[in-house]
Amino acid sequence: MRISVIGCGYLGAVHAASMASLGHDVVGIDVDPDKIARLAAGTAPFYEPGLPELLAEVSGTGRLTFSTDMADAAGAQIHFLCVGTPQKHGEFRADLSYVESAFEDLRPHLAAGDVVAGKSTVPVGTAEDLAARLTGTGASLAWNPEFLREGFAVQDTLHPDRLVYGLPTDDEGVPTAEGDAARALLDEVYATPLSEGTPLVVTDYATAQLVKVAANSFLATKISFINAMAELCEATGADVTRLADAIGYDARIGRRFLNAGLGFGGGCLPKDIRAFMARAGELGVDQALSFLREVDAINMRRRVRMVDLAREVSAGSIVGKRVTVLGAAFKPDSDDVRDSPALSVAAQMQLQGAHVTVTDPQAVENARAKWPDLKYAATALEAAQGADVVVLATEWAEYRDLDPDALGGVVAHRAIVDGRNVLDPKAWRAAGWTYRALGRP
């Protein structure tokens, strides 16, 4: 099938390459000429494990092209909208300007029978609005939310947990003839994952849009729940990692996404829960989501607590102290620094008078662009030279595996704050380190 993918960021670039690898003819479109040039040359414009290999695999087939010209979307039967919906400056709401401009640019190039499939995370009601604006074009709209995780984006796209189609429905919630046609196209796009037994939920627009924000809100709540327990653990001398293990054995709870620490960041969870609260307010049901304020507050408190712990292990003050921050990305296996808890903590400590050096295996370039005043180093050992305190903020495998003695050999003081609860306290203490963590004695 001929497919266009509008927006080639973390979501769109992976979607475009994955669809081509499934055998479709794909054109990826983006307004950023630099990004398009790199993708056209077969290079991933950001760090995502597996994407370079996937681009290499499909580049020889001729099935994947890239363009900055929306006219090149013409001729595709299905157009995936994959542009970003960041938080609006100074507000909780989502900024829909990229969705708006992509949709308006695309509209003149649509032919009768085409389907526009929305993947961007949007406030509920957006799909209904876009669908109404297709009246008279003969094209229709489907909402097909995306659940990929950065770091596992290729795997999540090719082998998703589930597929969700939000289709035009009649008053009884049954897909219209247009809805059935859109479903047939989507089934063809996803023929391979569907044949592997991927569960499919076919529903209306509102439900499909809500599924996405509900999922991210649940995940954020799970993380903040365990981080609230970490606060209780800190007050009582209990160990939140053992607590998570113990409650996680209950299949109804599950151990995944119960890792206490510095909390969630990134381009999705923080802004999605805020946009969801804002939308609930507009719909007159803000009370339903008031708990998300607490989820957000717990999450932000972890960053403050992390700085407090660094101060505690630095004899009560970080002023003039050398602090090494291991990690800049919002999570391991990504170079994404959007709303990164690691960088937020690094910047806070710098503002409070510490001399901060940050290192990250992939995200230094992005971090430097955002926080040019921080000092950066290429490796942990380089970053930790003469450090008074080391802060582990992103749990990259190479930081989890650090040898306490090797790192101890370069620092000025053996003091470490484990912001992700991934180090073995016994081993670090045995090597003479003062070890502190969030929610652990």
Selection from 87, 42, 75 nearest residue 60 by Cα: 42
- In DSSP terms, which residues pair with 355 in a beta bridge? 322
Strands (E), 194-347: 200-204, 322-326
Cβ at position 381, least distance to ligand UGA in Å: 24
Q: Rule CB under 6 A: which of 148-177 touch ligand UGA?
A: 148-150
Give the angle subtended at the CA of 12 by the CAs of 90 and 135, to the nearest 5°: 80
**Residue from 28, 118, 168, 265 in contact with ligand UGA (CB under 6 A):** 265
Q: Which of 261, 327, 419, 425 binds ligand UGA (CB under 6 A)?
A: 261
3-state secondary structure of 249: coil
Report which of 104, 164, 111, 154 is spatially closest to residue 130, judged by C-alpha positions: 104
| Contacts of ligand UGA in 198-237 (CB under 6 A) | 216, 219, 223
Binding mask of the shown chain, residues 103 to 142, with x at each position contacting ligand UGA by CB under 6 A: ------------------x---------------------
Binding residues for ligand UGA, how many (CB under 6 A)? 21
Regarding 257 and contact with ligand UGA (CB under 6 A), the answer is: yes
SS3 142: strand
| Angle between helical axes of 10-21 and 51-59 (0-180°, round to 10) | 40
CB 362 within 8 A of CB 328: no
For position 399 contacting ligand UGA by CB under 6 A, the verdict is no
Q: How far is the CB of 309 from ligand UGA (least distance, A)?
A: 16
Told to judge if 268 belongs to the known catalytic residues of this protein, a careful annotator would answer yes
As to burial, measured by CB atoms within 10 angstroms (0-12 exposed, 13-18 middle, 19+ buried), residue 174 is: exposed
- Residue type present at position 187: D
Query: Pick from 83, 265, 116, 130: which is nearest to 185 by CA?
Result: 116
> Which of residues 76 and 148 has its CB atom nearest to ligand UGA in the complex?
148
Nearest approach, Cβ of residue 330 and ligand UGA (Å) = 4
Report the site for ligand UGA in 322-351 (rule: CB under 6 A): 330-331
Please check whether residue 157 is in contact with residue 127, taking contact to mean a CB–CB distance below 8 angstroms: no
Q: Does 305 bind ligand UGA (CB under 6 A)?
A: no
- List 357's β-bridge partners, or say none: 324, 375
Residues of span 25-84 touching ligand UGA by CB under 6 A: none
Q: Smallest distance from the beta carbon of 258 to ligand UGA, in angstroms?
A: 6
Considering only 28-36, 198-206, 256-264, 279-287, which stretch makes contact with ligand UGA by CB under 6 A?
Answer: 256-264
Binding of residue 259 to ligand UGA (CB under 6 A)? yes
Q: Tell me if residue 173 falls in helix, strand or coil.
A: coil
Sites of contact with ligand UGA (CB under 6 A): 121, 146-150, 216, 219, 223, 257-259, 261, 263-266, 268-269, 330-331
**Catalytic positions, written as ranges:** 268
